Chain A
Amino acid sequence: MSLSSRMIIVLTTVGLISGGFLAGVAQLTKERISLNIQKEIEEAIVEVIPGTTQNKKLYQEEDFTIYSGQDESGSTTGYAVQATGIGFQDKITLMFGIDDSLKRITRITIIDQKETPGLGAKITDWNAFLQFWEDRDASGQLTLRKPPAGSLEDLLPSEINTITGATISSQKVLEIVNLSLEKLKKIISEGKIAVEGHDVN
């Protein structure tokens, strides 16, 4: 057998065996992987709308998804909005919960971020940032409180605390949420999704 034929046969065999092997592994892990991604979203929804046990996807476009949350009895607990926008370093993906009056933000959680470690990355920290998002007034736009207030009680209902040393990351999160609120209200007023009797004005 000539050298060239041998080379081709060897390479093809190695390729085929690897390919087959990998296809098998991919089959075995495929379900678990998509479950992991799904689980992440479900956990986020439960976190941002307290009391939720199930959810329904109401609306989806690129970088923006709306879910509704229900408790065991099936009544609506609120809505969760997942949005991706530009942060300081790279994209930020977050989810915030809004109650069924659509006037109050229940909580937010950061799903994906690549901000500066130790500084901007503190947007994922409960003590430094996330706790100040609890129970915010969402009837209008939210604003940033600079310099940061000492505690949650010192903030106005529509204000968010900035993280010291990470003003821009904090601001970017605020922008994403404000933009999402506008989008949410617009989508509802256009009747694109069914929300139990709402006059969003």
Chain B
Amino acid sequence: MSTKSIGAEYLKGLWDENPVFRQLLGMCPTLAVTGTVITGLAMGLATTFVLIFSSLVVSSIKKLIPAQVRIASYIVVIASFVTIADQFLKAYFYPISKAMGPYVPLIVVNCIILGRQEAFASKNSAGRSLIDALGMSSGFILALLVLSTIREILGAGTFLGYQIMGAWFKPWTIMILPAGAFLTLGVLLGIALAIERKTMRN
């Protein structure tokens, strides 16, 4: 049972336990849909939806589920909310859904979500689990926004589709390619660790 204050419970997801930069989870979607800010944002919001509702449901029914079948149960819960998110996007945001391809259904195997159910929601109250889910989601969205902003601005000269770099700028096409995603995330991880070490030394 966690004993942190509400504020700390939320904030840990942003930096100390940031799912992407510190826990190294959920990297598949982080690399795949951050070519543009709009898809990165859509992924972040979809994952947030799944994480929040899965955590709420799991922490509410945790006492009813025998330990042996908990993973299977969590998976069914998570998969259901992912399906809902996918259907919703297809119905109301069709172009974005097409741009994201198979990666919305892939939220079901985003280690962040199953990880939080196992590590937190199954051991804490619904209220706390909600705060934890919000914190982790915020951290995830933060990571997605940082990565996609860098990739879109440097790779296409645009932000959210709006041209922001002048004609003098020749886009670094590699940024939109898979290679660019790997390289950028690698460098960002290095920077995150370097900052961490510095603050630890002080």
List A residues at the B interface (Cβ < 8 Å).
3, 6-7, 10-11, 14-15, 18, 21-22, 25-26, 29, 32-33, 36-37, 40, 112, 116-119
Contacts and interface: CB of A to CB of B under 8 A. Distances in A.
B73 A118 contact: no
Interface stretch (B15-23, B88-96, B185-193): B88-96
Interface stretch (B25-33, B133-141, B171-179): B171-179
Contacts of B73: 10-11, 14
Interface residues of B, number: 27
Contacts of B64: 10
Contacts of B76: 11, 14-15, 18
Interface stretch (B43-51, B79-87, B104-112, B113-121): B79-87
A3 B172 CA distance: 59
B69 interface: yes
Given A25-B84, A25-B87, A117 B35 contact: yes
A3 B66 CA distance: 8
Contacts of B69: 7, 10-11
Given A25-B83, A36-B90, A36-B94, 16 more contacts: A7-B66, A7-B69, A18-B76, A18-B77, A26-B87, A29-B91, A32-B91, A33-B87, A37-B94, A116-B177, A117-B35, A117-B155, A117-B156, A118-B155, A118-B171, A118-B177
Interface string B58-77: 00000011101100110011
A-B residue pairs, 6 tightest by C-beta: A118-B173, A117-B176, A32-B91, A36-B94, A29-B91, A18-B80
Interface of B: 35, 64-66, 68-69, 72-73, 76-77, 79-80, 83-84, 87-88, 90-92, 94, 98, 155-156, 171, 173, 176-177
Contact of B90 (A11, A21, A29): A29
Contacts of B155: 117-118
Contacts of B156: 117-118
Nearest to B174: A118
A3 B69 CA distance: 11
28 contacts: A3-B66, A3-B68, A7-B68, A7-B69, A10-B66, A14-B65, A15-B76, A18-B76, A18-B80, A21-B80, A22-B83, A22-B84, A25-B84, A25-B87, A29-B88, A29-B91, A33-B87, A33-B90, A33-B91, A33-B94, A112-B98, A116-B177, A117-B35, A117-B155, A117-B156, A118-B155, A118-B171, A118-B177
